[in-house]
């Protein structure tokens, strides 16, 4: 970042005065899962310019705020949720990406449990869940962000247990399979799927059954975070699916 003696001004409040400042924003690609489908939380702009168009939810990063903190703030402001899975996707840094002024955006994708979020808060912000297979056009480069996030999710889910982030704490194996089918966009074999998820010994079977999906009912399970962490520490870089 520093190159030549001549380029370094004296130490002052702003060390780099001669250089060009710009806005840094962060946009959140917020995924949820419901009735067999991946959902995306979008916000409808109610004002010009781009009035009525759909957009991801984001914010400018403040001068005294970590970029990751900005994303967490946005997520909490709109859903009321903290401590959810969120990870950097990519920087969107084209010089002309924002007609307002030079602004780069750090895309961050999050996985949340649909039961948990604060519905009033979401409504108050005019945000709506959309099925990822039926998305409207989005402003700026947000469609690209969504595409990239879906691809990253697909890749990442193979090696990290992300599926659990989209389900309630108690979930059934058919539900879990359904999540992975939505992420990978293909059907999975029931027997092979069970074999694989059980093989790692990170699921705890409960006595309770979920009778909502069928007459017979399916047993609830929970994900054992501690056991998973131990596996990772032991250097098992296994495939989850």
Partner DNA sequence: GCAAAAGTGTTGGGCGTACACCCATGC
Partner DNA sequence: GCATGGGTGTACGCCCAACACTTTTGC
Confirm or reject binding of residue 172 to DNA (CB under 7 A). Answer: yes
Confirm or reject binding of residue 62 to a second copy (CB under 8 A). Answer: yes
> 219 is in the binding site of which of DNA, a second copy, none (Cβ under 5 to 8 A by kind)?
DNA
Give residues 171-210 in contact with a second copy (rule: CB under 8 A).
none
Check residue 174 and report its DSSP letter: H
Confirm or reject binding of residue 65 to a second copy (CB under 8 A). Answer: yes
> Least distance in Å: CB of 158 to a second copy?
11
Nearest to 121 by CA among 205, 188, 219, 43: 43
Interacting residue with a second copy among 84, 104, 218, 222 (CB under 8 A): 104
Q: What are phi and psi of 91, to 5 degrees?
A: -95, 135
Pull the structure tokens for residue 198: 């059980």
Confirm or reject binding of residue 29 to a second copy (CB under 8 A). Answer: no
Interacting residue with DNA among 84, 218, 222, 231 (CB under 7 A): 218
Residue with tokens 């409960």: 206
| Segment lying near a second copy (by CB under 8 A), choices 38-46, 187-195, 200-208, 222-230 | 38-46
Confirm or reject binding of residue 7 to DNA (CB under 7 A). Answer: no
Please give the Cα distance from 199 to 217 (Å, whole number): 23
> 47 is in the binding site of which of a second copy, DNA, none (Cβ under 5 to 8 A by kind)?
a second copy
Interacting residue with a second copy among 34, 36, 66, 147 (CB under 8 A): 66
**8: part of which helix (H) or strand (E)?**
none
Confirm or reject binding of residue 137 to a second copy (CB under 8 A). Answer: no
Q: Which is closer to DNA, CB of 79 or CB of 172?
A: 172
Nearest to 222 by CA among 167, 168, 170, 163: 170
Residues with Cβ within 8 Å of 150's Cβ and at least 6 positions away in sequence, in order, are 38, 132
Nearest to 173 by CA among 221, 111, 207, 115: 221
Please give the Cα distance from 19 to 3 (Å, whole number): 13
For residue 49, say if its preceding peptide bond is cis, omega within 30 degrees of 0. yes
> 189 is in the binding site of which of DNA, a second copy, none (Cβ under 5 to 8 A by kind)?
DNA
> Rule CB under 8 A: which residues touch a second copy?
1-3, 5, 8, 11, 13-16, 19-25, 27, 43, 45-47, 49-50, 55-69, 88, 90-91, 93-95, 98-106, 125, 140
């Amino acid at each position: 970042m520093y190159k030549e003696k001549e380029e370094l001004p004296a130490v002052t409040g702003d060390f780099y005065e001669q250089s060009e400042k710009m806005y840094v924003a962060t946009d959140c690609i917020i995924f949820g899962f419901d009735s067999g489908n991946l959902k995306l939380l979008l916000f409808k702009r109610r004002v010009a310019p781009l009035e009525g168009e759909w957009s991801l939810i984001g914010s400018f990063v403040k001068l005294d705020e970590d970029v990751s903190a900005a994303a967490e703030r946005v997520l909490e402001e709109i859903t009321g949720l903290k401590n959810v899975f969120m990870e950097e996707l990519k920087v969107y840094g084209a010089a002309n990406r924002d007609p307002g002024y030079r602004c780069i955006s750090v895309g961050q994708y999050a996985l949340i449990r649909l039961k948990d979020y604060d519905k009033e808060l979401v409504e108050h912000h005019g945000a709506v869940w959309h099925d990822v297979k039926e998305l409207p056009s989005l402003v700026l480069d947000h469609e690209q962000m969504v595409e990239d996030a879906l691809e990253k999710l697909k890749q990442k889910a193979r090696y990290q247990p992300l599926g659990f982030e989209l389900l309630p704490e108690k979930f059934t194996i058919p539900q879990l399979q359904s999540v992975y089918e939505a992420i990978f966009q293909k059907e999975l074999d029931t027997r092979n799927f069970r074999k694989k998820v059980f093989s790692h010994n990170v699921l705890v079977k409960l006595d309770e059954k979920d009778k909502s999906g069928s007459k017979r009912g399916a047993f609830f399970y929970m994900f054992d975070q501690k056991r998973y962490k131990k596996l990772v520490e032991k250097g098992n870089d296994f495939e989850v699916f």
